[in-house]
Amino acid sequence: MGYRNLSECVYDLEKTGQLIRIDTELDANLEIAAVQRRVYQSGGPALLFTRVKGCSFPMLGNLFGTLERTRFLFRDTLPAVLHLLSLKTDPMRLMKSPAAWPGTLRGTLNLLPRKVSRGPALDCQTRIENLPQLVSWPKDGGPFITLPQVYSESVSRPGWRHSNLGMYRVQLAGNQYRPNEEVGLHYQIHRGIGCHHTEALEQGKPFRVNIFIGGPPALTMAAVMPLPEGMPELCFAGLLGGRRVPLICQPGQLPVPAEVDFCISGTVIPNKTLPEGPFGDHLGYYSLQHDFPVLAVDRVTHRRGAIWPFTSVGRPPQEDSTFGAFIHELTGPLIPELVPGVKAVHAVDAAGVHPLLLAIGSERYAPFAEQQAPQELLTQASALLGTGQLSLAKYLFIVAGQDNPQLDIHDVPAFFSHLLERVDWQRDLHFHTRTTIDTLDYSGSGFQQGSKLVIAATGPVQRQLPCELPGDLFLPAGFRKPRIVLPGVLVIEAPAHHAPRGEADTAAQSFCNAIDPEQSINGFPLIVLTDDSDWTARNLNNFLWATFTRSDPAVDSYGIGAHTVSKHWGCSGSLVIDARRKGHHAPALEDDPVIEKKVDALGAPGGPLHGVI
């Protein structure tokens, strides 16, 4: 049976040696987040900060810090959840042999929430200023809730059956928000709450929102799950948590899970937005100030002994990377059913998740053809870019599984080699220009505006990928320090970028124009221009992060021997991606040296984190 509330979870983790208490007084302004990030990087335990400066509530960090601990939290229910998700593709399996699925049958009993008239979540009232004021990075615009569960309902079909529970960050103070009366509600495109908000505005009805913090871990995980349409997150929380979610239902109020630790209730102010941010986000940069909806706060309640769970995001991997890994374990087997012919997908965490999506598909349209070319792969790519959160992918690399049945999609170097051995740059580049991109991605032509690139490759090996620099390598003036980061992938240091946003850069263009497609450098099918080739090539994570977070496909893709035929762009030589920093990019996150020294002291002999960090 799963945890009834967060306190039970903390007790269990401490009892099993997976949580430590930190009784040293620490500040929620920068210090606590820095500690959590450091402990995550060391693979350490969950952390209960019992003395938060100026705040009476303890804070819980690194709860989902390892995949092993996340599995442990849901150990009693995982088999039933996996079985039930598999039945989405073939429900008759359960009907044909119900005796073989007893855990699944019991699990379905927990899908429906149960209504209650009261619960501990409403026992006490407080104010926004009394909540933990977590600031994760030095340039953040104020304190944020980083593990919120934002609950909304359809105004035309009220009730939990047509609800959305999503993790949309919340700014508690700062900027132009009225203290204790307003909070900022940041939600990105392609999110369920947007449909509810649009509906309320169209009908001129108040848009009520509840923000839950804490409660059983299943509620937090449900808020980030990409669930099948029609399954409310509250149902999944009951399934994953091993018990029906008790909902406090009061007249005129949105329901509140009885066991959450905090609840902020309010109404989104119609047609009002205020600047939200900056905020150090999971791409490793600051998302800058932009106007987002404002929640007028009616009340703030909490349970007795409430605990404030939090995380701190930044350049991956971070704790939220575990969410992605756990979600993949649950939903990965469903991909072939959601998109026929697709065998596997991998949103690359080191590249910021949405900037780079790898996929293994199938090429079955013309098995009789002497020469295979991407056909079905393009159909599958279009389907992937129209499926839930996968639609946020900026670069989609897709290959045919039959070309190498043993290819592991999580082996990124092997995947790159497989694709680059087969790709034809004159045929296999497919751009989506002037489209939407992730709200947090500043590489595009404007806010939430940019492009996408599908690279689809199939067929026999066309080239051997070089692992050494050729002796006659030629570089134009101003370009230097060529470094091989992967077989067939060359990183080159280039002059600083100066082009206006959304326009081609003359230096990158001159690089391509100065090289003939027959020159030896074209043995490297992929060339990346960067500000610091030594740093970019130092390890795979640096290469992935810099290349795919710092480029907009339609603007920053160049080619040696480039040409356009019937509006299809390609090149006879190497593909060149400009991954230099641009003037419109958001600042990268950097640790505060003073704060880091304080964290070092906690790990010194006699400190609470000695032996942990």
Query: One fold for both 6-73+110-310 and 322-457?
Result: no
pLDDT, position 91: 47
pLDDT-derived band at 439 (thresholds 50, 70, 90) equals confident
pLDDT, position 527: 98
pLDDT-derived band at 305 (thresholds 50, 70, 90) equals very high
Q: Per-residue pLDDT tens for 369-424?
A: 666 789 999 999 999 999 888 889 999 999 999 999 999 999 999 999 999 999 99
- pLDDT greater than 70 at residue 94: no
**Distance (Å, rounded) from C-alpha 368 to C-alpha 59?**
62
**Distance (Å, rounded) from C-alpha 154 to C-alpha 333?**
31
Of 389 and 543, the structure prediction assigns the larger pLDDT to 543
**Distance (Å, rounded) from C-alpha 443 to C-alpha 502?**
9
Instruction: For the chain, give every domain's residue range.
Output: 6-73+110-310, 322-457, 480-578
pLDDT, position 98: 54
- pLDDT greater than 70 at residue 102: no
Q: Per-residue pLDDT tens for 545-597?
A: 999 999 999 999 999 999 999 999 999 999 999 999 999 999 999 999 999 99
CATH class of 322-457: alpha beta
Residues 6+ apart with CB under 8 A from 74: 2, 81, 217, 218, 221, 240, 241
pLDDT, position 370: 66
Average pLDDT in the 10-14 region?
98
Least confident of 30-44, 50-64, 218-232, 306-320: 218-232
Q: Per-residue pLDDT tens for 451-474?
A: 999 999 999 999 999 999 999 999
Q: Is residue 367 a contact partner of residue 431, using CB atoms and an 8 Å limit?
A: no
Q: Per-residue pLDDT tens for 59-91?
A: 999 999 999 999 999 999 998 888 777 665 454
Average pLDDT in the 175-201 region?
89
pLDDT-derived band at 101 (thresholds 50, 70, 90) equals low
pLDDT, position 148: 98
- State what percent of residues in the chain have pLDDT above 90: 84
460 burial class (0-12, 13-18, 19+ CB within 10 angstroms)?
A: exposed
**Distance (Å, rounded) from C-alpha 169 to C-alpha 318?**
16
Q: Tokens 């009908």 map to which residue?
A: 203
Going by the DSSP 8-state scheme, the letter that residue 129 receives in this structure is G
Homologous superfamily of 6-73+110-310 in CATH? Electron Transport, Fmn-binding Protein; Chain A (2.30.110.10)
What type of residue is 108?
Answer: T
Q: Buried b / exposed e across 129-164, counting CB within 10 Å, b at 16+?
A: eebbbbbbbeebbbbbbbbbbbbbbebeeeebeebb
pLDDT, position 389: 83
- The two three-digit tokens of residue 250, written as one number: 């009061």
Pairing of strands 526-530, 489-493: parallel
- pLDDT greater than 80 at residue 268: yes
367 burial class (0-12, 13-18, 19+ CB within 10 angstroms)?
A: exposed
Q: Per-residue pLDDT tens for 111-168?
A: 899 999 999 999 999 999 999 999 999 999 999 999 999 999 999 999 999 999 999 9
Q: Is residue 45 a contact partner of residue 19, using CB atoms and an 8 Å limit?
A: yes
- Average confidence score pLDDT of the chain: 93
Least confident of 260-269, 331-340, 406-415, 452-461: 331-340
pLDDT-derived band at 194 (thresholds 50, 70, 90) equals confident
pLDDT-derived band at 92 (thresholds 50, 70, 90) equals very low
**Distance (Å, rounded) from C-alpha 557 to C-alpha 508?**
9
Alpha helical stretches, state H, 339-401: 376-384
Average pLDDT in the 500-525 region?
96
